[in-house]
Amino acid sequence: KNEVEQSPQNLTAQEGEFITINCSYSVGISALHWLQQHPGGGIVSLFMLSSGKKKHGRLIATINIQEKHSSLHITASHPRDSAVYICAVIGGTGNQFYFGTGTSLTVIP
Amino acid sequence: DADVTQTPRNRITKTGKRIMLECSQTKGHDRMYWYRQDPGLGLRLIYYSFDVKDINKGEISDGYSVSRQAQAKFSLSLESAIPNQTALYFCATRSSPPGELFFGEGSRLTVL
């Protein structure tokens, strides 16, 4: 049983395309993270959000608490955006993280 | 310097050997975590610690132990490594809620 489901699992896009990655979860949460993992392994946090929308450069993250759904959008995608994007939620008590299996994005020049 | 440093970054060892992966952080965070990542699976929690005197098992703690030597240091040990412990291991820290997660660069362990 996966508490966090991401779609799609794999995504290939042409440079410049608008990209959307989706995350659905089944548990009550206190916050949701979007993480980025580049080839070579390191993981960085892109966003932490508990409501509404956040924007950082070309990246936008939204969350709908009622629908238990979040999206990560990348505008004007670039080959350097190629990475695995991971959705993680923090359970309502704040002590338990649940991770999606990730979306592998490849942006072709 | 990285906020969260893991050593070693890569290690190849043999079945039955004892292995220690070390993690240190400069964020001053109380909460530290060890995760393992396998292809096709999400990050899975091995152990976590909310302060020096607090150690908790995660979902896959069997075969692993940890030590929180100081607020900044959290080590993961494999007492007798086996091949299915071959994986990428991550240390992470987090400030008290609603803190962000900060990950180390990962330690790739291969058990032959």
B-chain CB neighbours of A35 within 8 Å are: 101, 103
At A1 the pLDDT is: 63
pLDDT of residue B2 exceeding 90 = no
pLDDT of residue B98 exceeding 70 = no
Q: Which of A3, A32, A43, A63 should we substitute to test contact with B (largest number of B Cβ atoms within 10 Å)?
A: A43
- HSE-CB of A74 using CA atoms within 13 angstroms: 25
Mean pLDDT of A59-76: 97
The pLDDT tens digits for B14-60 are 999 999 999 999 999 999 999 999 988 889 999 999 989 999 999 89
CB pair distance less than 8 Å for B103 and A101: no
CB pair distance less than 8 Å for A41 and B88: yes
The pLDDT tens digits for B48-92 are 999 899 999 998 999 999 999 999 999 999 999 999 999 999 999
CB pair distance less than 8 Å for A45 and B100: yes
Least confident of A48-52, A77-81, A105-109: A48-52
pLDDT band at A40 (very low <50, low <70, confident <90, very high): confident
Q: Identify residue A73 by its one-letter amino acid code.
A: H
At A2 the pLDDT is: 81
At B1 the pLDDT is: 62
At B57 the pLDDT is: 93
At B62 the pLDDT is: 95
Put simply, whether B11 touches A (Cβ < 8 Å) is: no
State the CB neighbour count (10 A cutoff) for residue B58: 18
- HSE-CB of B90 using CA atoms within 13 angstroms: 21
CB pair distance less than 8 Å for A88 and B106: no
pLDDT band at B100 (very low <50, low <70, confident <90, very high): confident
Mean pLDDT of the residues in chain B: 93
Residue A12 Ramachandran class (φ > 0 left, ψ -120 to 50 alpha, else beta): beta
Mean pLDDT of A50-55: 94
Q: Minimal CA–CA distance to A8: which of A18, A19, A16? A: A19
CB pair distance less than 8 Å for A41 and B101: no
CB pair distance less than 8 Å for A31 and B102: no
Mean pLDDT of the residues in chain A: 93
DSSP run (H or E) holding B111: strand B107-111
pLDDT band at A56 (very low <50, low <70, confident <90, very high): very high
How many helices (H) does chain A have, and how many strands (E)? Answer: 0, 11
Per-residue tokens: A37: 């993992």
A-chain CB neighbours of B100 within 8 Å are: 33, 45, 48
